[in-house]
Every structure is written in C-alpha cells, then in structure tokens.
Chain A
Amino acid sequence: DGGITQSPKYLFRKEGQNVTLSCEQNLNHDAMYWYRQDPGQGLRLIYYSQIVNDFQKGDIAEGYSVSREKKESFPLTVTSAQKNPTAFYLCASSIGRLDRAYQPQHFGDGTRLSIL
C-alpha cells in the first residue's frame, strides 16, 4: 500500500546536537511538507517542497533545514540553533501542482522529538 513513512517514531536530542528526521513517500507525490505540532497550537508549517531540489520556508523555518534530492524523500534536520525543539513533527505529501487536480495532503504517523 502507498503511504508516508516517518522514522524514527521517538527521537532524543542532546544539547548542541543536530538530529535528522526521515520522511519517505511512495505515493508519487510532487509536494512534501513538514509541520511542527505543539499542544494547543495546531500544526505549523516548517518547510515545503514542490519539486526535487527546490524547497521553501514555511512559517517557522528558523533552526531547521531540509533537502529534497529525491522525489520520495524529504528529510528534516533540527539544528542546535532550534532552542525549543521538543515537539511532534509531522510529514505530509500531496500532488501539489496547480496543473493537476488538487488532492488533499496525506500525513505520516509523526516523530516525537525530546531533549535529554
């Protein structure tokens, strides 16, 4: 079955350390997204990518970085510059292109990041 796989499910970061969250999709979707979820705040967009080798900042990109070297993969790095990284991170994908019928975003099961 097609879907989005996020790994790991739980991740712990030490002070000053960078960590990378994995997101892989086999839905043949062009667009991919990273969201951060905090209690009582809904989901906020970190980065998104509409095509390979291109990505755009979302509302809260500071302290994060991404890459899009393959259509199927959109890893998120939480850098040491992100001072409050404890959150639930969700990856999503969609067809995304304006020349194709819009379809809603599909979500992975998330990665919970905590600070040691």
Chain B
Amino acid sequence: AQSVTQPDIHITVSEGASLELRCNYSYGATPYLFWYVQSPGQGLQLLLKYFSGDTLVQGIKGFEAEFKRSQSSFNLRKPSVHWSDAAEYFCAVASGSARQLTFGSGTQLTVLP
C-alpha cells in the first residue's frame, strides 16, 4: 500500500530565510505527487504537482519541488519565506482507479518576523 511520510511535524523559520519541507513516499508505480497548503479553518489549496517529465516543478507563490526517484522524495522548497506562508503543508500521492489521495501527516510552518 502507498504511504507518505513528512518527518518534520513543525518547522520555524525567519522571514526571508530559505525553506525546505521534506516528503518521502512509498508507491510501486510512477507516482502522481502533490503539495497542498492549508490555512487555519480552511480547505486545501494545491501548490504544485508532479505527474511526469521534468523532475523540478514550479508551483504557485514561489514554491518549487524536486522529484527524486532514487530517494523516493518530493521535497518542497522556497528561497525566501514570507510571513503569509505560515500554514500547514501536506504532501500527497495519488493512486488507485479513482486516484485516491494518501496524505502525509503534515508540517506546520511558523514564520518569525
């Protein structure tokens, strides 16, 4: 069965610093991979996705992620964090006939002024 691991429960960075959120997945076939962001009390917004092709994908709000098959990883990065990036971030993999999503447990990002 597929699984997603986000090893960091909580990360704190200063505004303007770089950010990397880790994600490791377990899935037998070529995965569809996603990063979503959630503000408190809200739904999930898609940041970026990887289906195939170029392993470095660009998303919204200045985020990017790199797919590394050899490491089963799909880490999210941003070169300079803004206070508005404070939120919870979820990595997910899609599988099955209905493309069900399996989510990681999330990483809570705090941004210090």
Name B89-113 residues within 8 Å CB distance of A: 90, 94, 97-106
**B48: shortest Cβ distance to chain A, in Å?**
9
A102 and B51 form a contact (CB under 8 A): yes
Chain B: number of interface residues, binned into ranges? 20 to 34
Query: Does chain B have a CB within 8 A of A76?
Result: no
Interface residues on chain A, number (Cβ under 8 Å): 29
Name A19-75 residues within 8 Å CB distance of B: 31, 33, 35, 40-45, 48, 50, 56, 58
Which residues from A are CB-within-8-Å of B99? 31, 94, 96, 102, 105
Interface string of A5-31 (1 = CB under 8 A from B): 010000000000000000000000001
B90 and A43 form a contact (CB under 8 A): yes
**B36: shortest Cβ distance to chain A, in Å?**
8
Which residues from B are CB-within-8-Å of A40? 9, 105-106
Which residues from A are CB-within-8-Å of B49? 104
B103 and A107 form a contact (CB under 8 A): no
**Interface residue stretch chosen among B13-21, B37-45, B79-87:** B37-45
- The interface centre, meaning the residue of B32, B41, B51, B98 with most chain A CB atoms within 10 A of its CB, is B98
* B45: nearest chain-A partner, CB-CB: A107
